[in-house]
Amino acid sequence: MSDLKRTPLYDLHVGLGAKMVPFAGYEMPVQYSLGVMKEHLHCRAAAGLFDVSHMGQVILRSEDPKVAKAALERLIPQDVLGLGEDRQRYGFFTNDEGGIEDDLMFANRGDHLFVVVNAACKDADVARMRAALEPEVTVKLLENRALLALQGPKAEAVLAEHHPSLAEMRFMDVATVPIAGAECWVSRSGYTGEDGYEISVPLAAAKDLAQALLAHQDVEAIGLGARDSLRLEAGLCLYGHDIDDTTSPVEGGLTWGIQKTRRLGGDREGGFPGATRILSEMADGVSRKRVGLIPEGRAPMREGTELFASPDAETPVGTVTSGGFGPTIGAPVAMGYVGASFAEIGTALFGEVRGKRLPVSVAKLPFVAAGFKR
Amino acid sequence: MKFTEEHEWLRVEGDEVVVGITAHAAEQLGDVVFIELPDEGTTVSKDDEVVVIESVKAASDILAPLDGEITEVNEALVDEPGKVNDDAEGEAWFFKMKIEDMSALDDMMDEAAYKKYIG
């Protein structure tokens, strides 16, 4: 694994007994000694610490901050200009065909925008932003900061011990706060469905910060395995699986992430790649939709499982894009795309697992209610 | 006990062989969440896929270690697949089988050889 990159917490992971696997060009912990199931349950019950330093942290800056905001609106269907200072929003880069190139978080930090993108897409995202935004906007991929996430119902209490102001933040607030002696950029957000925080920290201080948080009895280190089952139960998309460059945000059930001002009839209607398809789908509907799926038995229905309308139908009506065991649900859960006429909650379908058609029903997302502190 | 390169253990009980997976294999798999067992009475050939085992991470197959007939399966695992992680080499046996040629066991690894095999 010599050509793989390591985060500043690599030695800490290994010391904690992590099983390291290649992920998006990095050696990352898939699980620690607790194991995926216990890590997952611990995060929902107390607090889990995740190393997400492989993700791309990018700063967009222009002399007049409005220029960078308006420029980013040319790449994503979100309202950037209307986002309040020290607030964060979920977004996605779209392509000319209306597919999704990556999903992201962006924050208004007053004189600049702070953007976090997926590890596997970060080089392409930076190239896309440079091509579209330079020279009026500078695009800087930060190589000098790590990113940690502290997630779960006890995250607030744990972090408040380091700085009381952190308890006052609401969901999607952003602040610069010293934690364990380092200047941290903190957002109240995450990707587990739990309340929690994401903390950008200077590389040199990352290990100390992680150790300070792990020293708390309520905090356990959580690997990529549980990160995946947590986000699946929370109904959140994994880029490259549940959404990709062929799925539109409307098919993916992400229209909640397109603010009114960018929609038909809005002040800044359209003006992003793929607007024609995306806006017409919002008006006229789509032929397939992302849905939640609950298999009836105990057999997990994993990515790629084909879905049929009956036990003997020849043509599939959909496919699972993420699936596995949901430790909090205590049963298998999945997400996938189905033809629009099969997308209603409660629709009975059959997933083909090892040659057998097993019953599965379309279910409401998320599987586990979000614990966000709004 | 005897061991296969597929990380199964075999224990002779009278004229039958009890089969399970090793603690090492269970640890590698991670938390087991689903097990599908064969029907009792099924005739199997060596390397047939006889058991499906799924962990939180992935699905894997357990292969028949030898030619023979499945005589009994451990139904308790279907409801409590996690037993495989708790007691892989004891309570969490998968199936018992009658094998045609008991001498085939002689060629399999003993515990010392298996320990060396997994390093």
- Per-residue pLDDT at B100: 85
pLDDT digits (tens, 9 = 90+) for A324-335: 999 999 999 999
A30 interaction partners in chain B (CB closer than 8 Å): 57
Q: What is the CATH number of the domain that holds B9?
A: 2.40.50.100
Q: How many domains does chain B have?
A: 1
Give the Cα separation of A115 and A275 in Å (integer): 22
Name the CA radius of gyration of chain B, rounded: 13
Which strand (E) or helix (H) includes residue B96? strand B95-99
d(CA B2, CA A175): 60
Distance, in Å, from the CA atom of A232 to the CA atom of A345, rounded to the nearest integer, reads: 17
Contact residues on chain A for B58, CB-CB shorter than 8 A: 302
Interface contacts (A, B; CB < 8 Å): 45
The three-class DSSP label of residue A104 is strand
Task: Identify the sign of the CA torsion A73, A74, A75, A76.
Answer: positive
What is the rounded distance in angstroms from the CA atom of residue A89 to the CA atom of residue A115?
10
B74 in a structural domain: yes
* Tokens read off for B51: 């058991």
Asked if the structure places residue B117 within a domain, the reply is no
Tell if the CB–CB gap between A300 and B78 is shorter than 8 Å.
Answer: no
Among A38, A225, A299, beta carbon nearest to B57? A225
Residues of A in contact with B85 (CB under 8 A): 35
Q: Does the CB of B76 have a partner CB in chain A at under 8 Å?
A: no
Chain A residues in contact with chain B using a Cβ-Cβ cutoff of 8 Å: 30-31, 35-38, 225, 229, 298-300, 302, 324-325, 327, 332, 354
Minimum CA–CA partner of A39 in chain B: B31
From chain A, the residues in CB contact with B78 under 8 A are 298
**Hey, are the CB atoms on A299 and B30 less than 8 Å from each other?**
no
B53 to chain A, closest Cα gap in Å? 10
Residue A229 one-letter amino acid:
S
Question: Do the Cβ atoms of A190 and A196 come closer than 8 Å?
Answer: yes
* pLDDT averaged over every residue in chain B: 95
Phi and psi for A179 in degrees, rounded to 5? Answer: -130, 130
C-alpha span between A115 and A91 (Å, rounded): 10
Task: State how far the alpha carbon of A268 is from the alpha carbons of A77, A218, A309, in Å.
Answer: 10, 46, 41
To the nearest whole Å, the CA of A353 is away from the closest chain B CA by: 11
Residue ranges making up the domain that contains B82: 2-100
Q: Is the pLDDT of residue B118 over 90?
A: yes
Min Cα–Cα distance to chain A from B54, Å: 8
Of A36, A327, A354, the CB nearest to B52: A354
Q: What is the CA radius of gyration of chain A?
A: 21
Q: What is the pLDDT of residue A2?
A: 63
| Domain limits, chain A | 10-53+144-233, 287-374
Contact predicate A77/A162, CB 8 Å: no
Q: Do A31 and B54 touch (CB under 8 A)?
A: no
B-chain residues near A327 (CB < 8 A): 31, 56
B68 in a structural domain: yes
Domain A287-374 has CATH 2.40.30.110: yes
**Segments of chain A assigned E as strands:** 19-23, 26-31, 47-51, 56-61, 87-94, 100-108, 112-117, 138-141, 145-151, 174-179, 182-187, 196-202, 219-221, 288-295, 306-308, 318-326, 331-339, 348-353, 356-363
Q: Do A299 and B31 touch (CB under 8 A)?
A: no
Closest CA to B104 of B6, B7, B12: B12
pLDDT in tens, B51-103: 999 999 888 999 999 999 999 999 999 999 999 999 999 999 999 999 988 89
With respect to residue B115, please indicate whether it lies within any of the assigned structural domains. no
**What superfamily does domain A10-53+144-233 belong to in CATH?**
Probable tRNA modification gtpase trme; domain 1 (3.30.1360.120)
Instruction: Specify the residue for token string 């469905």.
Output: A193
Q: How many Å apart are CA A336 and CA A360, to the nearest integer?
A: 12
Could you tell me if residue B23 is inside a domain? yes
Look at B33 and A31 and tell me if their CB atoms are within 8 Å.
no
Give long-range contacts, CB 8 A cutoff, 24+ apart: A10-16.
A11/A207, A12/A207, A12/A210, A12/A211, A13/A51, A13/A221, A16/A214, A16/A221
B34 touches chain A (CB under 8 A): yes
Backbone angles phi and psi of A166, in degrees to 5: -65, -25
Which residues in chain B have their CB less than 8 angstroms from residue A229's CB? 56
pLDDT in tens, A75-134: 999 999 999 999 999 999 999 999 999 999 999 999 999 999 999 999 999 999 999 999
Q: What CA–CA distance (Å, rounded) separates A125 from A102?
A: 8
Q: Which residues of chain A have pLDDT under 50?
A: 1
Q: What number of H helices and E strands is found in chain B?
A: 4, 9
Q: How many CB atoms lie within 10 A of CB A130?
A: 15
* Beta carbons within 10 angstroms of residue A94's beta carbon: 24
Closest CA to A338 of A288, A292, A304: A288
